[in-house]
Amino acid sequence: MNSLLKKSWWKILAVALMVYTITAGLLFEVPRLAILNETIRVLYFHVPMWFGMIILLTVSVVYSIKYLGKPSQKFDSYALEFANAGVVFGVLGLLSGALWANYTWGSPWSSDPKQNAAAIAMLIYFAYLILRNSLEDEQQRAKISAIYNIFAYATLIPLLFILPRMTDSLHPGNGGNPGFNAYDLDSKLRLVFYPAVIGWTLMGVWLTSQRIRLRAINQKLDERSEEQYVPTGQHADEPRPANNEQSAYSRSVK
């Protein structure tokens, strides 16, 4: 998994799927539906934010569980960065949804059950990120936030999949609204929608991989600077490779 993050084939796949999504998403024929009109194409851009968020947050909670089984900095940093990307997708989903709703529902926020549930889910994950920052000790932070992440995920699922279904939603396809339920999410829409979900999700994974790698570099630098701050004299007869490495680092910064 770790070296998979550095492979390039899935990044190329992501770019290809995104080029297809943008081109086909704007040019392919779509069903003609009242109220929605051309905004039905938002299906290829707004809805993948939520699918992507759920996938990214699922990966995050998997690494949190792995961390509790076998504590390691790597698992903690995977859990954090996948959650970060998931939150970015969620915020973009909320904002793009509000922009779209302004022109279809007549107001950016209608307290639609899906809007409310998604907003609450975002707040729960904001709390995860704030919780992390409030803990000084590294191991304590990793452990407590891993446990919190599991609870956050356990709350996310009913918020997104159960509660909105217990009542009518304004969303297309719900409660008799025009949209893409089992009858009219036709093959034309699916042809772009599924590649769009994969493409957007992989773009999120790409950004996540960069942040994970930067965190590993940061941790390495922290370790090195701790080695360097050993009072002189204690390791007087040992060679000091730290100095050479420091100069290698400062060269790379230039």
Partner 1 sequence: MLMSLVLLIMSSLPTLAQSSNEIAMADAFRAEGKIYIVVAVILLIFAGLVVYMVRIDRKVKRLEKELDVED
Binding-site size, partner 1 (CB under 8 A): 25
Q: Say which DSSP state 234 is in.
A: T
Token representation of residue 84: 């970060």
Binding partner 1 (rule: CB under 8 A), the pick from 92, 100, 206, 240 is 206
Q: Which backbone phi and psi does 215 adopt, to 5 degrees?
A: -65, -40
CB of 63 to partner 1, least distance (A): 15
CB-based contacts of 236: which residues, under 8 Å, 6+ apart? Answer: none
Contact 148, 205 (CB under 8 A): no
Binding partner 1 (rule: CB under 8 A), the pick from 139, 140, 210, 225 is 210
188 lies in the site for partner 1, by CB under 8 A = no
Q: Say which DSSP state 33 is in.
A: -
* Sequential DSSP letters for 45-112: TTHHHHHHHHHHHHHHHHHHHHHHHS--HHHHHHHHHHHHHHHHHHHHHHHHHHHHHHHHTSSS----
CB of 213 to partner 1, least distance (A): 5
Binding partner 1 (rule: CB under 8 A), the pick from 165, 190, 220, 235 is 220
16 lies in the site for partner 1, by CB under 8 A = no
252 lies in the site for partner 1, by CB under 8 A = yes
CB of 217 to partner 1, least distance (A): 5
Instruction: Name which of 28 and 126 has its Cβ closer to partner 1.
Output: 28
Q: Work out the number of other CB atoms within 10 angstroms of the CB of residue 98.
A: 15
Alpha-carbon dihedral of residues 49, 51, 54, 55, nearest 10 degrees? -110
27 lies in the site for partner 1, by CB under 8 A = yes
From 15-23, 91-99, 140-148, 172-180, give the range in contact with partner 1 by CB under 8 A. Answer: 15-23
235 lies in the site for partner 1, by CB under 8 A = no
140 lies in the site for partner 1, by CB under 8 A = no
Instruction: Name which of 22 and 170 has its Cβ closer to partner 1.
Output: 22
Nearest to 99 by CA among 107, 89, 87: 107
Instruction: Name which of 152 and 196 has its Cβ closer to partner 1.
Output: 196
Residues that bind partner 1 (CB under 8 A): 2-3, 6, 11, 15, 18-19, 22-23, 26-27, 206-207, 210, 213-214, 216-217, 220-221, 224, 245, 248-249, 252
